[in-house]
Chain A
Amino acid sequence: MALLEVDGLNLSIRGRHILKDVGFAIERGKVTGVVGESGSGKSLTALSIMQLLPHRSDLSGSIRFDGFDIAAASEREMCALRGDDIGMVFQEPMTALNPLKTVGEQVMEGIRLHTGATRKEARERAEAILEHVGLPPSQYALTRFPHELSGGQRQRVVIAMACALRPKLLIADEPTTALDVVVQARILDLLNMLVDENDMALMLISHDLGVVSDMADDIVIMRGGEIVEAGPAIPVLKNRTHPYTRQLAEASTHVPARDPDWRPADGEGKAVVSVSNLVCEYPGRRTGMFTREPPFRAVDDVSFDIGAGEIAGLVGESGCGKSTLGRSLLGLMQPSSGRIEFDGRDVTHPDSETRSEMVEFVQAVFQDPFASFNPRHKAGRLVAEPLFLRRELSAATKRDMALEALENVGMHASDLDKYAHEFSGGQRQRLAIARAVVNQPRLIIADEPVSALDVSIRAQVVDLIVELRERLDLAWLFISHDLSVVRSLCDTVMVMRSGRIVERGSAQQIHDNPREEYTRQLVAAAPDLEAVIARLGDEG
């Protein structure tokens, strides 16, 4: 008998039907990956098992855990189960811990609650488990508060809390989504280790087939509140018989089609942007009335060119300075020193005339498709915004240009009069791209433009970027934390770390043959579905 058997699970929240006849099983000591795009119901399935659903939830069906009927359990029985036999780890380590209590207190709390241990015993156990998850108390005292730890360290604390009593089942809901890729790899290793040691079952929930495929014994694929496919990982991934599974796998490893004959109009090799010795600093934190910490160098002596029609990738972990670099190119931030040239013209410290010409040269696409538009304006006005300085154009001409831009990104005239909230996330990102191309700039700086999108939509946007480069003769600076997208999309890749560009090369070279140790780490840490599938093929 399986450890967890879910059968015929139906869930409605405030009258909305969310889970439809969900059924699957989790075997003892095995890793079950649950994969789905946003809205697939994977997180609510986990919360159903924990019986931690939001108010006014209506749940029916059966959940049997180790022979115990969770669906019929009383709240008191559930409290005894949670944290003891079932542990749970959440997505956002930054908010998952109580900011006002020390790490030690929070780890000890569950131990004392379930075992009735004394403070001293609980502290010893807490120290042991924290040591085990990689936070030795000699280095990370139990009296630290959560804000004194990094995101990855906090996630280790949450894992320690969930695993302190060696649960039979650990549910991890997107445990690494909020973390950098190298940290992600380490947290996944930690989870693997805990599974092996304790003969614990792991329900690993993720939007990323790549993350799951490497670890999972079994895979459950969900979409729109239903189970699409469930079964042992190897056949599911290798055969990809179900069309949705195939679609997910293809989207995750998607490489956009390129026209091999396309050449930029200006010819290759001519730089549209040339950056030399660029330094960007933020003022240091105040330490006294008139004293400050030394300024923080977000971008530290960076030089590079982007050629006409080139798609240049800029990768790095959060806080490495990649967004600051992008913003300084957009004129949103004043560099402290160095030089930025557009088409050979110095725009480092633009006067108002240069600034208005920059609008014609460079445009931007940002990460969050939901925050990218003034909610009170219609698409026509939103897309035409970069034409604002061109007073010579009539309103009708601007509207025509907006329409042309919309058509360029695959949208229609009927979309002109819609508000941003009427579009889906993917459509909004198209809209953002339409706004960026409306005045036919030479360069678009895209800061994590696909990071907030589901994989299938991500693939479409990536295609659109290549297509527009060829049709409109555009160069792109594509900023991302995601090495796999960068590899499939970009011509060249720059790897950034602590404000410096540590390595630059063709996408192929960076991936297959990185020169720098740091690049090697990044490449090794990135989940690689393709490699897993290829390996499965070899095995046979």
Chain B
Amino acid sequence: MSWFIARRLLSLAVTLLLATVVIFAVLEIVPGDPARLMLGINATDDAVATLREQLGLNQPVLMRYLSWIAGMFQGDLGHSFTYGSPVAELIGERIVVSLPLALMALAISTAIAIPVGIYAASRRGSATDTAIMAVTQFGIAVPNFWFALLLVYFFAIFLRWVPAGGFAGWDEGIASGFRSLLLPAVALALPQAAILSRVARSAIIEVLGEDFIRTARAKGLTRRAALWRHALRNALIPVVTIMGLQFAFLLAGTIIIENVFYLPGLGRLVYQAITQHDLPVVQGTVLFLVGFVVVTNFLVDITYAWIDPRLRRRGR
């Protein structure tokens, strides 16, 4: 088990290291001089040169990469060109919006999808199953930001139940914070729930066809008991895989949804930073999100090993 975790951790570290190289390299080949972009078209060459010096842009590439990495280990991701504040601080301010949003969306999606998947699988081929599958087929096709627009129209403009957008901050009270995040979370969650319920359903149906289910039935278990006691846990692996992918997708997906709801989250931060060529912020946030994905994958792998005793012994 510990060997399994160690190997996963090592692979995690390697992926992260490669990711820093990629992120740095991509932003290195960005057309345009960040100093000039910051100061505007009318700035004098002298001013630009001074700023370049200040930002350390005149150092060799390798040096800049190494100092970026070195800073990272001290929690220093550099300073934003546009906001002037430390990138780490900006991420810290924004993650308190994006992370609860993604978690809420994941919770909603899972809470809907798993029961629906189990229900449909246990009544496979019935009219209900067919109807559920048709709805999910439709759900997969819905772009979440369009769904968000409809939600805003109906609940915020038409019914006036919730705010149409914006986020007052957690200081205003937990309840009001959650109210602001509710619609965006639902908009993110429902299309994901459609996917997850289909995955859950087909995973369960797949397992129900396994020999050991027949063995369980030959022991005298009812169809239902065989499903609950033998099929569900075996069907978890594909479900957990998709949940892991979805969490990463949801966190990154906030980049669009936060624009719809004018939420001051990580997605909006990175989007603005990209359009304003605020390189330190882009580097920092992208790396942060990549780190999140990689850690999520690691947790998913650990979950596999928890589910399946066969994986505890060996690597893969």
Question: What's the Cα separation between A75 and B223 when bound, in Å?
Answer: 9
B220 A90 Cβ-Cβ under 8 A: no
* Central interface residue in A92, A109, A114, by most chain B CB within 10 Å: A109
CB pair B309–A87 under 8 Å, yes or no, is no
Stretch at the interface among B56-64, B174-182, B196-204, B229-237: B229-237
Bound state CA distance, A81 and B214, in angstroms? 15
How far apart are B228's CB and chain A's nearest CB, in angstroms? Answer: 12
Q: Which of B224-258 contact A (CB under 8 A)?
A: 229-230, 233-234
Q: Determine whether B212 belongs to the interface, using a CB cutoff of 8 Å to chain A.
A: yes
Contact A100 B307 (CB under 8 A): yes
Within A321-344, the residues touching B (CB, 8 Å) are none
Please, which residue of chain B has its CB at the minimum distance from the CB of A84?
Answer: B220
Q: Residue B218 at the A interface, CB < 8 A?
A: yes
Q: List 6 A-B contacts (CB under 8 A).
A: A83-B220, A90-B218, A98-B230, A99-B310, A113-B220, A114-B220
**C-alpha spacing A50/B233, complex, angstroms:** 26
A99 touches B314 (CB 8 A): no
Which residues 164-187 of A have a CB within 8 angstroms of B? Answer: none
Closest Cβ neighbor of A147 among chain B residues: B310
Known contacts A96-B211, A99-B310, A145-B310; is-contact A75 B219 (Cβ 8 Å): no
Contact indicator per residue, chain A 88-109, by CB within 8 Å of chain B (1) or not (0): 1010100111111100000001
B217, CB-defined interface residue at 8 Å: yes
Chain B CB within 8 A of A158 CB = yes
Range, interface on chain A = 35 or more
Q: Is the CB of A98 within 8 A of B212?
A: yes
Which A284-317 residues have a C-beta within 8 angstroms of B?
285-289
Q: In whole Å, how far is A206's beta carbon from the nearest beta carbon of chain B?
A: 18
Q: Flag if B215 contacts A52 (CB, 8 Å).
A: no
Residues of B within 8 A of A (CB): 3, 10, 125, 210-212, 214-223, 229-230, 233-234, 307-310, 314-315
A87: chain B residues within 8 A (beta carbon) = 218
Bound form: Cα–Cα A82–B219 in Å: 6
Docked Cα-Cα span, A99 to B311, in Å, equals 11
Q: Quick one: given A109-B221, A147-B310, are A98 and B216 in contact (CB under 8 Å)?
A: yes
Whether A161 is near chain B, meaning CB under 8 Å from some CB there, is yes
Residue of B nearest to A87 (CB): B218
Contacts A98-B234, A100-B234, A100-B308; is A79 near B221 (CB within 8 Å)?
Answer: yes
**Whole-angstrom distance between the Cβ of A481 and the nearest chain B Cβ:** 22
Choice from B218, B309, B315 contacting A82 with Cβ under 8 Å: B218
Are A50's CB and B218's CB within 8 A? yes
A84 to B309, CA, bound (A): 29
Indicate which residue in A81, A96, A97, A147 contacts B220 across the interface (CB closer than 8 Å): A81
Contact B125 A55 (CB under 8 A): yes
A55-B125, A95-B211, A109-B229 are contacts. A82–B217 as well, Cβ < 8 Å?
Answer: yes
Known A-B contacts A98-B234, A99-B308, A109-B229; A83 and B219 likewise in contact (beta carbons under 8 Å)? yes
How far, in whole Å, are A287 and B3 apart by their CA atoms in the complex? Answer: 8
Chain B CB within 10 A, most for which of A100, A101, A147, A288: A100
Let me know if A80 is at the binding interface, CB within 8 A: yes
Rounded to whole Å, the gap between the CB of B62 and the closest CB of chain A is 27
Check B219 against A158 for contact (C-beta < 8 Å). Answer: no
Please give the distance in Å from A262's CB to the nearest CB on chain B: 48
Nearest-Cβ distance from residue A512 to partner chain B, whole angstroms: 40
With A100-B308, A100-B309 as known contacts, state yes or no: A158 contacts B233, CB within 8 Å.
no
A97 touches B212 (CB 8 A): yes
Partner of B215, one of A55, A75, A97, A100: A97
Q: Which residues of A contact B223 (CB under 8 A)?
A: 75
Q: Which chain A residues border B218 with CB–CB below 8 Å?
A: 50, 52, 82-83, 87-88, 90, 162
B220 & A75 in contact (Cβ 8 Å cutoff): no
Q: B125, B215, B230, B234 — which one has the most chain A CB atoms within 10 A of its CB?
A: B215
Question: Residues of A contacting B229 with CB < 8 Å?
Answer: 109
List residues of chain A with CB within 8 A of the CB of B216. Answer: 98, 109
Closest to B220 in A: A83
**Chain B nearest CB, measured from A231 CB (Å):** 28
Question: A380 on the interface (CB 8 Å rule)?
Answer: no
By beta carbon, the residue of chain B nearest A105 is B229
Which B residues lie within 8 Å of A162 (CB)? 218
Residue numbers in A under 8 Å from B308 (CB-CB): 99-100
Cβ–Cβ contact A52 & B214, under 8 A: yes
- Known A98-B216, A158-B215; further 16 A-B contacts with Cβ < 8 A: A52-B214, A75-B223, A76-B222, A79-B222, A84-B220, A87-B218, A95-B210, A95-B211, A96-B215, A100-B233, A100-B234, A109-B216, A110-B220, A113-B219, A145-B310, A285-B314
Residues in B whose Cβ lies below 8 Å from that of A145: 309-310
Q: Which of B125, B218, B314 has the most CB of A within 10 A?
A: B218
